[in-house]
Structure 1
Amino acid sequence: MEVLDAFPIAGTRHYTLLNTNEPPADPERIFIDSVISKTEARLVWLDDEIPKLREKLKQLEYERASLPRYVTCNKAALAPLRRMPPEVLGEIFSWTLPTIANVLNAGKFDMAQSPWLLTQISSRWRAVSLSIPSLWSRVVIQYPRLKYTAPGRIHYSHALAETQISRAQTLKIHFYCCEQTDPRPQIHMFYLLSQHSSRWEELSLALTPKMLPLLTTLRNQLPSLRRLWMEWDGGEDEIPVESLGSFHLAPSLVEFGLSNETCVLPITFPIHQLTRLQFDGPWERHRGILKLAPNLVEAHIEVFHEETWPEIGEIIDLPYLRGLYVSDHQVLDYLRAPALVGIGLVGWEDGASDVLESFAPFLDRSACILRRLTLVGFPDTHTTTRILAKLPSVTEFAVAIDDSDASERVNLLMSTLTISQASGVSEVAPQLRCLLFGCQSDSSIDYNIFLKMLESRWRAEHCPLKAAALLMEDPVQGLLTCDGFRALRREGMDLSVMVEREVSTEIKGWAYATRWN
């Protein structure tokens, strides 16, 4: 239909009649009647066309909204991820596995976490994830105290446990019991896991008196077990068995750890074949074990408080030991370790300079060349600098604190390790190539002092510093956005700054403690 011009040109007779009160002549009336007729017909046509156009617009808007998604789907079909080999995709999947801490926090088999989530994305991802047994090998179960847990939150499905076990090849079991929680589901779940003990490669256990008798069923059923960690918080009167010999004949066991703060758990294990040991107990128990463990490569020795130390007698030789941590420096009086390259010592809250009375003879006796020194707890600056002065071969120095009261001491130690602008030369441990500082729990340090220490050494002439790390569990405002750290990285320093709850695992490794659990 012809489009009407609803705006007459100014100066025409039609324009004048529409904008004044002049009466039209008869010929003009005929013209205006024809305009009215055409306009009304146009209105009827528009009333008919507008709904059609609205429907058309709706169709166009729907098409406009759907086409981007269609383009995205087609682009996805060309994505390199679809052409990625299954073995590469599987390697990526392995990096998505949550930490043990995250799994424990879930309190169940969480379908929103890997590896369970990987089976829900696509058929290909499901096939790849199910074809990799290592994604399913770690089974983590914890029964915390009910008063700390929301009702109904803790529920570990037997069906899901069986599903995960069926998808795995070897198993890494982390099973943490609780005496204050109903023992029946704990016993039933452990019994299910024990039916597959021949496939256990790692076992981390927090025990209760009711669970101890179940361990007797594992005798001669652990051919693949390589790592064992046990926790026991009960007393001697709560131990319902005379001896735990279930692990004595484990032919593959090479790493053993035991945490028991109040008594000696009567457990036997193949000491002669161990390469890693972490143990809590009286020195005489340690002494008996170390005499039978010549193959140790790393040892973390926590000694119960000793009123008196026995006669030294025969020195214990540990010919292959490379990493050693002792909670009491007097342990060194009984040892010789010629291959030792790293040692960890407890810091000295009271400035116990007598540590040198044990440390210096141990070094002379061992004739080892130390490369790494780790201090845990309260490092006294005076004693620390004296020890570093006697260890010119040490190139890595680590400090780990877990108490807020130690922060001031660590800040002082860092200030002492800082090179003054006036001298330009380090008077304390100038040979250090790596500096590691870690804070756990509610501890912290002044990261500005840490940064100043690094800058002074990094920019000093002939200073060998190459790497550093600052690990803190609790975030400190401004730490991760510090321009000074970015500048050191740009200049080439291998610098790691981490602020997260999982840093404690890394810090434990500085003192040769177990990290896999």
Structure 2
Amino acid sequence: MDSGVELKFRSTSQCCECGPQKSPALCSAISATSICANCFDMSVTPGTRYHTLLNSNEPPDESELTFVRSVASTVDASLEYLDHEIANLPENMKRLEEKRASLLSYRVRNNAILSLLRWIPPELLREIFSWTMPLLEGAAEVTLGIEQTPWMLTQISSRWRAVTFSTPSLWSHIFIDYRHSHINPDPSTYSPSLIKAQLDYAQKLKIHFYGSQGIDLRPQIDMFKLLSQHSSRWEELSVGLTAEMVPILMTLRDRIPSLRRLWIQWSTVEDQSGVHSIDCFQPASSLVDIGIFNEYRFVPVLLPVHQLTRYDIDCQLEEHIRVLKQTPNVIEARIDVTFDEEAWSDSLETVDLLRLRRLYISPAGALKYFKVPSLEELALDFSGEDILSLVRSLLDRSSCSLRRLCLQSPTAHTAIESLQYCPSLTELLILHDDGSRRDEINALISALTLPNYPGGLALAPQLRLISFGCDYESYLDYEAYLKMLQSRRGAENCALKSAALLIVDGLKPESETVRSLHTLRQEGLDFLLLEGVRARDEMLPWDYSTLWT
């Protein structure tokens, strides 16, 4: 190997810095084949192979490893000698520490040549980089800037920079939120130049843009216009509209051929002022997933309803029926009936949703207007209605077999009767957010425990998954919950394989209970225990809400 470096071994009597007064015994801390730090020449000839390895991320050849390791060994011995000098010669501390720092830096650079990172192929680096991207669930905390991923990855090395810039998926998410001025004190710091660069590096785009009437609208409008210039590459759009943004949105008709997912919301009632309808999305030939949260008043949005596979809108029941009877391909639906000031007419027609497999509906009384022969999963918010008769009527009318049932704050009676009526159920999920029903939830846990159920029989022995989620303050009897899981795991006729306990706030289980729950996991139960924001995010899909909104 043309190393370009000499390892100079001199006697201590010839040492330029150690001097003739130093005896060989003083250097006893290093091996006979090494030299003291002051005599180790770290100069490397430019243009040599070793100089290239020290100043790049290029991997060494097998034939070069012995030399690199020998240099590392010599440096280690010299560092050991310096440690000896520092300990015994306090007056030379500053000089020796500076020399030691220099050697340490040299060793790091030398050892970097041997790093496995140099052998990682670009495709694996891309996968690793994708896992560093910020999650959008904590939307208010996502910021832009060169200190954030993916910009941060470009600052590590020339190789990482090349891989990052050549990976369009790392640049596809653009998140801009003008609502949280208390977190981003100066929203104008969303840099147009950074956004323009990101738009250039990306291919398909996932746009999350939320406007606000509470701050200067001009930068918001300019930024939305910039993003709209690239609307042909939009795959996803999650937008919090202001009235001023709607005219820009309306210009995008016939300019969003790749848009597959759409979420629209309004921040204030003033944002909807003067907006009568939105029709730019009707020609979107790829749009299959739609979510609209009107909240304040219903604003019609014309859609390519015949091609939708997911539907999530809050509006009047009559409007739901009008749209859904034109959606033969919808597979998942969140039907939130709002803005109805009068009782529903019996003359409203029943809608056949032939392919629908997953349904959330509120209030449950709207169930009677739908027929769902392929339904497998149902989520309901208990609101005092006769849910049992409504569910029975739906299942009888549709001739479907439920596999999964999610109930929000049900009575124990409702949950038990539902399990008895639907022997096909294998998954039960209970969302609890009502402190007044703590006794009901704990009564359900008791009923699921063996052999507490009347007659000594197991309630719903076919259940493979039982999950409880506490969206606000938890009122669960954790010891009773543990006993329920233990009893069902130990019963020969019970099918329980998975369970989850999600606690957003309130009292947590005692440490002994947690240890026993983890013991169940070690014994084969697929068990998930989460707290706080992570628990809330895990619960969102239970009623078919989406995380990206």
Bin the TM-score by the shorter chain. 0.7 to 0.9
TM-score (norm 1): 0.82
SS at match of 2:174: strand
Aligned counterparts of 2:466 and 2:124: Cα–Cα separation in 1: 35
Counterpart of 2:535 (choices 488, 493, 503) is: 503
Counterpart of 2:216 (choices 173, 178, 182) is: 182
Counterpart of 2:156? 121
Give 1:127's aligned amino acid.
A
1:372–1:126: structure 2 CA closer, same or farther, 3 Å change rule? same
Q: Deviations over 1:134-166 (max 9, x none)?
A: 1111111111265x4574366311111111111
Query: Superposition pairs for residues 66-465 of structure 1, below 5 Å?
Result: 66-102=102-138, 104-106=140-142, 108-144=143-179, 146=181, 148-149=182-183, 151-152=185-186, 155-232=189-266, 234-235=268-269, 238-304=272-338, 306=340, 307-311=342-346, 314-348=349-383, 350=384, 352=385, 354-376=386-408, 378-420=409-451, 427-442=458-473, 445-465=476-496
RMSD: 2.9
Deviates more, 1:300-309 or 1:276-285: 300-309
Aligned counterparts of 1:64 and 1:233: Cα–Cα separation in 2: 59
Q: Deviations over 1:52-76 (max 9, x none)?
A: 9777776655555554554444443
Given that 1:474 and 1:501 are in contact with CA atoms closer than 8 Å, whether structure 2 keeps it comes out as no
Q: Deviations over 1:402-422 (max 9, x none)?
A: 455555543332233222479
Which segments of 5 or more consecutive residues in structure 2 lack a partner in the other structure?
1-19, 22-87
Counterpart of 1:490? 522
SS at match of 2:286: coil
Give 1:501's aligned amino acid.
V
Q: Deviations over 1:273-325 (max 9, x none)?
A: 00000010110010101111110000011111644122255431111111011
**Identity of matched residues, %:** 45
Counterpart of 1:27? none
Given that 2:297 and 2:339 are in contact with CA atoms closer than 8 Å, whether structure 1 keeps it comes out as no
How many residue pairs get aligned? The number is 462
Given that 1:90 and 1:128 are in contact with CA atoms closer than 8 Å, whether structure 2 keeps it comes out as yes
1:308–1:102: structure 2 CA closer, same or farther, 3 Å change rule? closer
TM-score (norm 2): 0.77
Given that 2:462 and 2:495 are in contact with CA atoms closer than 8 Å, whether structure 1 keeps it comes out as yes
1:468–1:338: structure 2 CA closer, same or farther, 3 Å change rule? same
Aligned counterparts of 1:422 and 1:441: Cα–Cα separation in 2: 28
Q: Deviations over 1:102-131 (max 9, x none)?
A: 45324x414333222211222222211111
Given that 2:137 and 2:547 are in contact with CA atoms closer than 8 Å, whether structure 1 keeps it comes out as no
Deviates more, 1:230-239 or 1:160-169: 230-239
Aligned counterparts of 2:455 and 2:109: Cα–Cα separation in 1: 62
Shift of the alpha carbon at 1:174? 0.7
1:303–1:136: structure 2 CA closer, same or farther, 3 Å change rule? same
Give 1:284's aligned amino acid.
E
Aligned counterparts of 1:162 and 1:330: Cα–Cα separation in 2: 49
Aligned counterparts of 1:360 and 1:421: Cα–Cα separation in 2: 26
Given that 1:233 and 1:260 are in contact with CA atoms closer than 8 Å, whether structure 2 keeps it comes out as no
Give 1:289's aligned amino acid.
V
Shift of the alpha carbon at 1:240? 2.3
Aligned counterparts of 1:475 and 1:299: Cα–Cα separation in 2: 32
Deviates more, 1:282-291 or 1:239-248: 239-248
1:398–1:112: structure 2 CA closer, same or farther, 3 Å change rule? farther
1:187–1:502: structure 2 CA closer, same or farther, 3 Å change rule? farther
SS at match of 1:261: coil
Shift of the alpha carbon at 1:357? 2.2
Which segments of 5 or more consecutive residues in structure 1 lack a partner in the other structure?
3-51
Give 1:365's aligned amino acid.
R
Aligned counterparts of 1:250 and 1:444: Cα–Cα separation in 2: 47
1:69–1:442: structure 2 CA closer, same or farther, 3 Å change rule? farther
Instruction: Answer with 1 or 2: which has the greater Rg.
Output: 1
Aligned counterparts of 1:93 and 1:385: Cα–Cα separation in 2: 47
Aligned counterparts of 2:452 and 2:184: Cα–Cα separation in 1: 57
